[in-house]
Amino acid sequence: MLSVLRNRAYRHLFTAQVVALVGTGLATVALSLLAYDLAGANASAVLGTALAIKMVAYVAIAPIAGALSGRIPRRALLVAMDLTRAAVALSLPFVTQVWQVYLLIFLLQAASAAFTPTFQATIPDVLPAERDYTQALSMSRLAYDLESLFSPALAALLLTLVSYDWLFAGTTVGFLASAALVVSAVLPKPAPVERTGGAYARAAFSSRLFWVTPRLRALLALDLAVAAAGAIVFVNTVVVVRDHFHRPAGAVSLALGAYGAGSMLTALLLPRLLARVGDRRVMLPAAFALPAVLAAATALTALGPTGWSWAALLATWALIGAACSAVLTPGGRLIRRSAADADLPAAFAAQFSLSHSCWLLTYPLAGWLAAGAGLPVTAVVLGTVALAAAAGAAALWPSRDPDTLDHLHTDLPADHPHLAGAHPATTGGWRHGHHYVIDRYHPSWPRPAVPGH
């Protein structure tokens, strides 16, 4: 997998991603301590609101940013967003009111909502070979998992030496280093974008791309399955560990580490597996595994703690991490197959926004249900959501899903350049086949061809 790091441009971009993620992780710890200083016992409410603002920024800003990214040089946009995030992080230690935290968090996450999809859309240009791109997706998954383990440990070490305000300085350095690495990378020129419509029209097109393309509709359902299972881990782990198992605070990190370990191991194995069996045969079984594992979580939280149940919980969290990674990691391959090169930034931005809409639903659901109805009910409800989403994905994603599709054109003149090599159809129009994506010439998904027509 590490062979992709021989590509200088990708090596610089991947390193930029890693240092930015570490900076973000430091900011997460520092923000929790800042909220406690400002709000005391109400710190949870402040952090909950900040998390909601983060998701709203992702959902609202990403599609528009993705549409604009085709009109702005990618490197300039990435560097501008890194510098914006650095400036916001540098400002956070000086806030004195809760509303200032909310404003700065919105600006920080709006910049991330523009940065991340543009970064994702750049990687296929840097690594055009399918094998290399698959390895890059696994590397990206590993980066997120390692950040979730490394950043809290680094923050704990730094807090023994300095106050939490200095963690924001570390965040700023991370974003500045990311910007410098992006500047040093030689990026290939992306495919030209046809200037049809404004940013809102492009954003609407990218969202429509997901509703019209069967495999992308399935990807959204799979994102919901992951969000349902992931919400149990990220929202309820502290309650499960401290209140149900009566474990010390350090055990929370151990449980989250089990989730990350499962995710990392899967990410390491995926490139070879995807080369052999393909995306659908990996992603759908993993999605159906999520409700099964949540059923185990229901049993563990319904029963009292025993000598073996703690180890069973760690194994359950690791299985959730593994299944989520098996669903999430190949998602970039589906988007790459389903969008023209010029539309990739908008397509990744739409997926970024729509997938976070799923988390915006499951995060509060996990929190409210756990508080009002208990952990077993929460696991049952979210397991049901995951099962329905997995079943929906299986129904939406055709078992035969080739890239090249035979289709009919009835709205183009016979001498149109796009019809080169096409043959007249007996029912009228022109028929041909090629790698099919939704674009200006193909506004809808074709029905299967009728033999002889």
Task: Flag whether pLDDT at 199 surpasses 70.
Answer: no
Cα distance between residue 224 and residue 230, in whole Å: 10
Does the CA dihedral 175-176-180-181 come out positive or negative? Answer: negative
Q: Where in the sequence of the chain do the CATH 1.20.1250.20 domains occur?
A: 1-184, 199-401
CATH of 1-184, one of 1.20.1250.20, 2.40.50.140, 2.60.40.1180, 1.10.1740.10: 1.20.1250.20
Q: What is the pLDDT of residues 238-266, one digit of tens each?
A: 788 878 888 886 677 788 778 888 888 89
Q: What is the pLDDT of residues 374-431, one digit of tens each?
A: 889 999 999 999 999 999 999 999 988 888 888 888 888 888 888 888 888 888 888 8
Rounded to 5 degrees, φ, ψ at 443 are -75, -15
CATH code for the structural domain at 199-401? 1.20.1250.20
Q: Is 444 helix (H, G, I), strand (E, B) or coil?
A: coil
Residue with tokens 């809102």: 200
Task: Flag whether pLDDT at 68 surpasses 80.
Answer: no
DSSP string for residues in 223-245: HHHHHHHHHHHHHHHHHIIIIIS
Rounded to 5 degrees, φ, ψ at 431 are -120, 135
The order of strands in the sheet holding 404-409 is: 404-409, 430-435, 423-424
Mean predicted lDDT score pLDDT of the chain: 83
Q: What is the pLDDT of residues 71-109, one digit of tens each?
A: 678 888 899 999 999 999 999 888 888 888 888 888 888
Cα distance between residue 375 and residue 219, in whole Å: 28
In this structure, what token pair is assigned to residue 97?
Answer: 């009111």
Question: What pTM did the predictor assign?
Answer: 0.79
